[in-house]
Structure 1
């Protein structure tokens, strides 16, 4: 029964995403050489982001590790291998996509004063994905 319920929920979610495709005001922003887009609040924004995700080589997702709640307003700072900051922004939703030059990067994400840092390698052929999950307080 639980597997069937889960399958039905996934099918419903995918239907909602496809029904809302193209209905969003999300626009790419730029800082220096880095193009990025963030959002994902609501079905339309998630659908719009899903439609452009292949244009970006790094995706970030922000959530609670306990409840699974998604977070917006996360401060994000990405530094290149030389420590130079290439992106410094606040996410408009739980998803942030970025276009980075191939290389190694350090990503810092801060939510309510708690910072999580992760390293990532970005190349020209594959998309890298990082998830940031904070414990509930």
Structure 2
């Protein structure tokens, strides 16, 4: 190949690789006025979540009690203080981050038919973090 062709091809190749490297493995979703993202399986997703954590005012974590082993595949429902369901989703990893308007919320998380509910108060610029822990069941590997 002629040197001129290399001069044109190499910058294009480098540009495409950098664009690919910057693409996040996480896909934020929106339901109504609420934007949220879930994941955290694998080092790439955990690093991506760490980099956007401050952009969300509600951070949820799902794990097995006692072992600290993370859980994925959790059904999550976020309702406002009037009982209106704002988000109903399936957390694809042990973390779910959401942006909510200031107010009081009820978060319901269901894993293998076991439901855990917690209240959250969102206000100001402070982030609310909640952890949901299920008992480790016999035969469960505890791996996400």
Taking structure 2 as the reference length, the TM-score comes to: 0.78
Paired residues, what number?
Answer: 117
Residue deviations 1:17-60 (CA, integer Å, cap 9, x gap): xxxx9563212100000000000001110000010011100000
Structural mapping, 1:34-49, within 5 Å: 34-49=34-49
Checking the alignment, whether the CA contact within 8 Å between 1:80 and 1:106 is kept in structure 2 is: yes
- Assess if the C-alpha contact under 8 Å between 2:106 and 2:118 holds in 1: yes
Structure 1 residue ranges (4+ consecutive) displaced by more than 3 angstroms after TM superposition:
21-24
Equivalents in 2 of 1:23, 1:32: separation in Å? Answer: 25
* Structural mapping, 1:45-64, within 5 Å: 45-64=45-64
Q: TM-score of the superposition, structure 1-length normalised?
A: 0.82
Could you tell me which residue of structure 1 aligns to residue 133 of structure 2?
133
Q: Is the 8 A contact 2:56 2:97 kept in 1?
A: yes
C-alpha offsets along residues 98-128 of structure 1, whole Å, 9 cap, x if unaligned?
0000000000000111000000100131000
> What are the within-5 Å matches in structure 2 for residues 8-87 of structure 1?
24-87=24-87
